[in-house]
Chains A and B, each alone.
Chain A
């Protein structure tokens, strides 16, 4: 019986010690949480978000359709059609789509692009109501 009471007392004491820790944070420290839709925390500049294609100074696409990015992609979510432009005899892409529903944001495509024209954005809230909305074509991907 005595030992039982001692145990209760000891238990209450250790609870109080624990309470002291929580109170310390409650009273003297700033909140560490962010109220998400109203406040947003900054992500790192190298954040691996959705992909974009860069253009050169004149607004022309840099990508020459070498297909390296689509070959290294672990989930084969980049697809493109390539043609030879008779005007300047250069290889270009007529379509370039990325299925972000499958993309695992690994960054291997960006790393392997020899022209350095494929980049990640810092966008982390890319949503859509249906699967088709996640498949972006050239009109959305190319950043002019």
Chain B
């Protein structure tokens, strides 16, 4: 709790406002305790834990394969990327090499999921600033990708597609052609997005210069992902500490300089284009082949530990996995990017107006499933 007897600068009483956990704009069950001086925020404290399910503890009582199934529920918007990091960590413990085609399929799915995340951000961020149409547009395009995912995995949200040593199923016949069509469609739609939202004067007025995060703060709070790159730090784990076969692909890492809400939004739109580029290259490189390595039926990695970092759409998603040689992990720790990026709110919210809180929160892009775990 914040002390709501805090006085404003003229010595008058302040007001304490609970924003959330049922507020439609807090992206899930986040509670923000705001101390207000009129419409300006004096101090802010995010209160989390409403969606806590004890996933890290539960993981200690699940088999390794079941842990991949559970990882769908961390950040439910980008399940594929969560699957990816857990599968990589287990494979590092086991020391298995996975087939080429499985690598490509994994990257294909992870990048498609990045596209989903960024178009949802487009929708939600514009919605937070009052543009309902954009939200519907975002969901419409997401539906196309979900149909693709559904045809491969059989589910629309919790895919559970990755296996220890490969992936669960091969692609259906028309997948490549459908994905190609989606890329074309998406490129056209991005133009619409720009007309509708990016170049809109009102949207720019509401987001340019709002919620600036400086480079020093980024480093001090160890923020990662698009939030970091929007403040001018060019660092992407896919390039700088590459994993899987990302080094075979040619893509750029966009950066912006100002670190305000608009830059964070625009950076995602630029990344979206890069992801489409990667997907296109994967589709060309895909060759028929094995999709599963030979792994024992019962997975019992030797005692040891593994730390794997990946670039999820929200930032640096890492897993620390300790094995004691049994069928269940001894310790499972997740470095959730949403959780760490959320901390910056306390620093940048004081001094802004209430309406901008929504914009700043939307531009940081958190998912409470991952924050609370």
A-to-B contact residues, CB < 8 Å: 7, 10-11, 13-15, 17-18, 20-22, 32, 43-44, 46-48, 72-74, 104-108, 111, 120
List the A residue with the shortest CB-CB distance to B150. Answer: A44
Of B62, B65, B69, B196, which is within 8 A of A18 by CB? B196
- Contact: B160 with A107, CB < 8 Å? yes
- Contact: B169 with A46, CB < 8 Å? yes
Q: Given A46-B154, A106-B69, A107-B160, are A32 and B202 neighbors across the interface (CB < 8 Å)? A: no
Contacts of A111 in B (CB 8 A): 168
Of A22, A32, A105, which is within 8 A of B158 by CB? A105
CA of A111 to CA of B167, assembled, Å:
12
- Contact: A74 with B192, CB < 8 Å? no
Asked whether any CB of chain A lies closer than 8 Å to the CB of B155, the reply is yes
8 inter-chain pairs at a CB distance below 8 angstroms, sorted by A residue, are A14-B200, A15-B202, A18-B195, A32-B140, A104-B158, A105-B158, A106-B69, A106-B160
- Contact: A7 with B66, CB < 8 Å? no
- Contact: B150 with A10, CB < 8 Å? no
- Contact: B196 with A108, CB < 8 Å? no
* B182-204 at interface with A (beta carbon < 8 Å): 192, 195-197, 199-202
CB distance from A20 to the nearest CB of B (A): 7
* B119-153 at interface with A (beta carbon < 8 Å): 133, 140, 143, 150-151, 153
- Contact: A22 with B154, CB < 8 Å? no
CB distance from A60 to the nearest CB of B (A): 27
**8 further interface pairs, Cβ-Cβ under 8 Å (given A10-B201, A106-B158, A107-B155):** A15-B202, A17-B195, A17-B199, A44-B154, A46-B154, A106-B69, A108-B65, A108-B66
CA of A91 to CA of B128, assembled, Å:
60
CB distance from A121 to the nearest CB of B (A): 11
B-to-A contact residues, CB < 8 Å: 62-63, 65-66, 69-70, 133, 140, 143, 150-151, 153-155, 158, 160, 168-169, 192, 195-197, 199-202, 205
Of A15, A21, A73, A120, which is within 8 A of B154 by CB? A120
CA of A24 to CA of B259, assembled, Å:
34
Contacts of B143 in A (CB 8 A): 32
- Contact: B192 with A21, CB < 8 Å? yes
CA of A71 to CA of B197, assembled, Å:
51
- Contact: B69 with A104, CB < 8 Å? yes
Contacts of B65 in A (CB 8 A): 72, 108
Contacts of B70 in A (CB 8 A): 74
CB distance from A105 to the nearest CB of B (A): 7
CB distance from A71 to the nearest CB of B (A): 9
Contacts of B202 in A (CB 8 A): 11, 14-15
CA of A46 to CA of B154, assembled, Å:
5
Contacts of A47 in B (CB 8 A): 150, 154-155
List the A residue with the shortest CB-CB distance to B69. Answer: A106
CB distance from B303 to the nearest CB of A (A): 23
List the A residue with the shortest CB-CB distance to B191. Answer: A21
Contacts of A13 in B (CB 8 A): 201
- Contact: A74 with B195, CB < 8 Å? no
Of A15, A18, A105, most B-chain CB atoms within 10 Å: A18
- Contact: A14 with B69, CB < 8 Å? no
Q: Given A48-B154, A74-B62, are A14 and B169 neighbors across the interface (CB < 8 Å)? A: no
- Contact: A43 with B150, CB < 8 Å? yes
CA of A106 to CA of B69, assembled, Å:
6
Q: Given A18-B196, A104-B69, are A11 and B201 neighbors across the interface (CB < 8 Å)? A: yes
CB distance from B326 to the nearest CB of A (A): 14
CA of A106 to CA of B159, assembled, Å:
8
Contacts of A120 in B (CB 8 A): 154
CA of A11 to CA of B205, assembled, Å:
10
CA of A7 to CA of B205, assembled, Å:
10
Contacts of A43 in B (CB 8 A): 150
Contacts of B169 in A (CB 8 A): 46
- Contact: B63 with A72, CB < 8 Å? yes
CA of A17 to CA of B191, assembled, Å:
12
Contacts of A46 in B (CB 8 A): 151, 153-154, 169
Contacts of A74 in B (CB 8 A): 62-63, 66, 69-70
CA of A104 to CA of B155, assembled, Å:
11
Of A7, A48, A73, which is within 8 A of B201 by CB? A7
CB distance from B171 to the nearest CB of A (A): 12
List the A residue with the shortest CB-CB distance to B70. Answer: A74
